[in-house]
């Protein structure tokens, strides 16, 4: 095993886990809903309140205010790109498609949600930019040898 494979594994696990953690509350959160206790304890004290403020309806409402067309469909697509794309990146499964979904999702987040604030600070686009760049790097380099894709010789 090469050091680059360990580097890709680290990048995939980190990027994919963070993306998935952001997609979960968008898909399953909402008023009067709570994340599983184990997930809450892993994510920290801010996760449960964020979960309750989330959900497709709330996310679609935010997208509608930003002028995103078909906000409910866009909310579902974005949440699925984060959760599904994140999990696939973490596993190194269907890496080109997972990378593309994640990159496009983060590019839209940068432009529609964070651009007006600028790069730095609360609400800035630096976080979405780094996630998108990491997903792009994974897509361009491939998942490495410690991956589902490699296991099935994709």
Dist. CA 142–CA 23, nearest whole Å? 23
CB within 8 A of 129, min separation 6: which ones? 106, 110, 119
**pLDDT for the residue numbered 85:** 98
- Looking at residue 96, what is its pLDDT? 97
pLDDT at 98: 98
CA distances from 36 to 25, 48, 59, 118 (A): 11, 9, 20, 34
Helix, strand, or coil (residue 130): helix
Sign, Cα dihedral of 66, 88, 45, 115: negative
Q: Is the pLDDT of residue 154 over 70?
A: no
pLDDT tens digits for 89-139?
999 999 999 999 999 999 999 999 999 999 999 999 999 999 999 999 999
């Amino acid at each position: 095993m090469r050091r680059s494979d360990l580097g890709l594994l680290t990048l995939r696990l980190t990027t994919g886990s963070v993306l998935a953690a952001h997609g979960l509350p968008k898909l399953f959160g909402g008023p009067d809903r709570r994340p599983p206790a184990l997930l809450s304890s892993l994510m920290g004290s801010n996760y449960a309140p964020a979960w309750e403020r989330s959900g497709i309806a709330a996310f679609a409402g935010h997208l509608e205010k930003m002028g995103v067309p078909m906000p409910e469909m866009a909310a579902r697509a974005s949440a699925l790109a984060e959760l599904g794309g994140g999990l696939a990146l973490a596993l190194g499964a269907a890496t080109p498609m997972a990378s593309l979904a994640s990159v496009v999702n983060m590019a839209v987040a940068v432009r529609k949600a964070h651009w007006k604030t600028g790069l730095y600070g609360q609400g800035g686009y630096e976080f979405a930019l780094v996630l998108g760049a990491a997903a792009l790097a994974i897509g361009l380099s491939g998942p490495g040898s410690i991956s589902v894709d490699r296991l099935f010789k994709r």
